[in-house]
Amino acid sequence: MIHVKRIFENHFAKEERFLGQALGLGNKK
């Protein structure tokens, strides 16, 4: 879901790190 990740970076640029750590996307940044 690359398009979803882009939305997170645009909408939740800051929360993306918090959610990324929980979802494991932070490592895939």
Give pLDDT, residue 8: 67
Give pLDDT, residue 9: 72
pTM here is: 0.27
Q: How far from the centroid of its chain's Cα atoms is residue 1's Cα?
A: 11
Q: Using an 8 Å Cβ cutoff, are 9 and 16 in contact?
A: yes
Give pLDDT, residue 28: 59
Give pLDDT, residue 25: 58
Q: pLDDT tens for residues 1-29?
A: 578 878 767 776 677 677 777 777 555 55
